[in-house]
Amino acid sequence: MKFIDTAKLKISSGKGGNGIVAWRREKFEPRGGPAGGDGGRGGNVYIQGDNSLGTLLDFKYKSIFKAGDGQKGGPKKMSGKAGEDLIIKVPCGTVVKDSHSGEIIADIINENQKILVAEGGRGGRGNSHFATSSRQSPHFCEPGEPQIERELELELKLIAEVGIVGMPNAGKSTLISVISSAKPKIADYPFTTLVPNLGVVRKPDGDGIVIADIPGLIEGASGGAGLGHDFIRHIERTRLLIHIIDAAGVNGTSPEDAYKIIQNELKGYDKSLLKKKQLLVLNKIDLLSEEECKKLKDYFKKKRLNPIFISAATKKNITFLLNHLFELLEKNPKEEEDAIHAFYDPNATDHKLDEFMVFKNKQGFYVEGKKTEGLLSVTDLKNFQSVAHLMRVLKSIGIFTELEKIGIKEGDTVYISGVEFEYSPETMVMT
Ligand SMILES: Nc1nc2c(ncn2[C@@H]2O[C@H](COP(=O)(O)OP(=O)(O)OP(=O)(O)O)[C@@H](O)[C@H]2O)c(=O)[nH]1
Ligand SMILES: [Mg+2]
């Protein structure tokens, strides 16, 4: 099992359906009022936590996701069907980032925690909405809002319930190898473990507990020394720590000093780490006499600590240790984290409607943008009223002003999303 897993996704919400221009047709009313329905909204894209997933592997095979588009409105004021939402499921422990800005959008911690990453476009309004007393037959309607497309980066930081901490060479990897499915490298030199190893310990009822063997912490780790600094933050997410000490002091650090060093490092990183439940374990007792064990027991007793004496290598007292561990976990049940793990993410709802581009070349002036594209798609270019509406909207979003800034004059040619017009400061006419 890999500790950090990453994936890149391309997502797109659904486009809003266009409104339509339609008229009521009734037996005795040959020319009825406007009856064009609204377009349906486009589907949203969400990311949701799912405890049954363990990796981001699925995204290696599928990495492009699109929600359904809204359908266009119908006659008789019928609304178009909404596009289907899309829920992308990720394992709990996944951090979601925007690829372009690198900003964190959310930290998916809990089962079913759901965040919006791309909002579907609103449906456009049909012409039935635009009738007024002075304009009873509006020949125009609204386009649907465009979709939102973005690229996301996922990073899975597995949440282990139990973390094993201790000095290098204390026997952390040996312990995880005897109590779980993990098969890490074990060696008689420090810093054998460079990235956390994960294993699953089976409780008697069959439930699995994820346990992490954290690389050795040394004095100064909280200030950045050794390897510990990179991984100490993973400890923050565990529910319980097993603090393992080399009781034989093989590396030259006495068990008493080892205890103090590790407690200090935890405290140095974040005081609240000391509040985590700890199971103190003295390892390698196969190398100690009974008398030496008793001495250590007395020492820790004075500190009101009651360590468990084991030998990971010979599996002595391992069952006792596990029973104690299960009992402690039972007494300290998992709390759903209630903090809000989603951050303000304006990009999830920004349809970029106010973004347009004006430029000129030898042929003339150009206007490009999603909004103008949408507007043109619902403009009946043969209908004066419909074109006049288009011009009112273009003016209101500042396109006339921008064109004048780059030097457009009355009578110049301007292409708006590919359609040719002749410019006038009042309005533009088709050529
Ligand atoms: N005698 C004895 N040796 C042990 C015991 N447990 C582990 N060892 C030995 O101690 C050495 C270090 O063990 P590891 O499990 O690699 O220690 P670690 O804490 O993971 O070390 P790092 O990954 O380097 O931080 C190895 O040579 C193990 O065989 C034990 O109970 N008794
Ligand atoms: Mg190790």
Same domain, 380 and 232: no
Domain of 86, CATH number, reads 2.70.210.12
Q: Which helix (H) or strand (E) holds 344?
A: none
308 C-alpha to ligand 1 centroid (Å): 17
* CA of 177, nearest ligand number: 1
Of the residues 133, 157, 181, the one at which a domain ends:
157
166 in a structural domain: yes
Q: Could you tell me the end-to-end alpha-carbon distance of the chain, in angstroms, rounded to an integer?
A: 66
336 in a structural domain: no
pLDDT value at position 232?
Answer: 67
172 C-alpha to ligand 2 centroid (Å): 5
Same domain, 102 and 186: no
Q: Judge whether 281 and 174 are in contact, CB under 8 Å.
A: no
| Amino acid identity for residue 375 in this structure | L
Q: Any idea what the Cα angle at residue 94 is, between residues 57 and 209, rounded to 5°?
A: 85
Pocket test for ligand 1, best of 165, 167, 169 (most atoms within 8 A of CB): 169
Nearest-angstrom CA–CA distance, 349 and 121: 9
Same domain, 132 and 171: no
344 in a structural domain: no
pLDDT value at position 2?
Answer: 43
Q: Judge whether 140 and 389 are in contact, CB under 8 Å.
A: yes
Domain of 384, CATH number, reads 3.30.300.350
Spacing of C-alpha 281 from chain mean position: 37
346 in a structural domain: no
* CA of 283, nearest ligand number: 1
Same domain, 62 and 87: yes
DSSP state of 346: G
- Per the structure, how many domains does the chain have? 3
207, HSE (Cβ side, Cα atoms, 13 Å): 6
pLDDT per 10-residue tile (average), the chain, 431 residues: 74 97 77 90 96 84 96 96 97 91 89 94 95 87 96 85 92 95 85 80 85 80 61 75 95 93 87 87 96 95 95 96 93 68 86 90 92 92 91 92 95 93 84 70
Same domain, 59 and 202: no
57 C-alpha to ligand 2 centroid (Å): 26
Same domain, 171 and 237: yes
Q: Which domain holds residue 125?
A: 1-157
pLDDT value at position 289?
Answer: 95
Same domain, 137 and 218: no
Nearest-angstrom CA–CA distance, 256 and 292: 13
pLDDT value at position 311?
Answer: 97
pLDDT value at position 208?
Answer: 81
Domain of 254, CATH number, reads 3.40.50.300
Query: Is the Cα torsion angle 233, 234, 240, 242 positive or negative in sign?
Result: negative
Atom of ligand 1 nearest to the CA of 170: 19
Same domain, 412 and 397: yes
pLDDT value at position 132?
Answer: 86
Written as six digits, the tokens of 292 are: 């030496």
Of the residues 102, 127, 157, the one at which a domain ends:
157
Written as six digits, the tokens of 296 are: 């250590």
Written as six digits, the tokens of 374 are: 């949408």
Nearest-angstrom CA–CA distance, 241 and 318: 16
pLDDT value at position 158?
Answer: 66
